[in-house]
């Protein structure tokens, strides 16, 4: 499916770029990939979301999902970062437990799309 991520970059074109056979075949492949991605997305959704996305293509679905869940993810990233920064090792506690807790916060940040890799200046 990595080769089909381009479907989520923009809406499916309705006309080929030119009247050449290559352009028409490219549009046909794009349409086939868009249907496949949309079906996969719907298959992984809850029945309620499937019903809401019934008449949408893959690009429109991803835009609507971003609108629905982006604010929630932002709040969750904030809460996780706050816990990570304020986490202190208690005196006399095991360092292994503290490291695992910190690693859990970092893993959660990565899942939420926040890169925890150091940046170069």
Average pLDDT over residues 57-73: 85
**What is the pLDDT, as a whole number, of residue 15?**
78
Question: What pLDDT digit, counting tens, does each position of 71-99 carry?
Answer: 788 888 889 999 999 989 888 889 999 99
The whole-number average pLDDT for the span 20-41 is 87
pTM above 0.85, yes or no: no
Q: What is the mean pLDDT of residues 98-114?
A: 88
What pLDDT does 118 receive? 63
pLDDT at 121: 55
Residue 69's pLDDT band, with cuts at 50, 70 and 90, is confident
Q: What is the C-alpha end-to-end distance of the chain, expressed in Å?
A: 34
pLDDT for res 104:
93
SS3 for the chain, per residue? CHHHHHHHHCCCCCCCCCCCHHHHHHHHHHHHHHHHHHHHHHHCCCHHHHHHCCCCCHHHHHHHHHHHHHHHHHHHHHHHHHHHHHCCCCCCCCHHHHHHHHHHHHHHHHHCCCCCCCCCC
Q: Is the pLDDT of residue 103 over 90?
A: yes
């Amino acid at each position: 499916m990595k080769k089909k991520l381009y479907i989520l970059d923009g809406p499916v074109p309705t006309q080929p770029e030119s009247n050449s056979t290559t352009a028409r075949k490219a549009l046909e492949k794009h349409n086939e990939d868009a249907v496949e991605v949309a079906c996969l997305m719907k298959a992984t959704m809850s029945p309620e979301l499937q019903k809401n996305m019934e008449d949408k293509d893959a690009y429109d679905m991803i835009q609507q999902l971003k609108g629905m869940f982006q604010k929630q993810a932002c709040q969750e990233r904030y809460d996780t970062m706050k816990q990570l920064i304020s986490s202190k090792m208690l005196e006399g506690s095991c360092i292994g437990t503290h490291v695992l807790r910190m690693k859990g916060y970092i893993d959660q940040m990565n899942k939420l799309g926040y890169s925890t890799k150091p940046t170069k200046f």
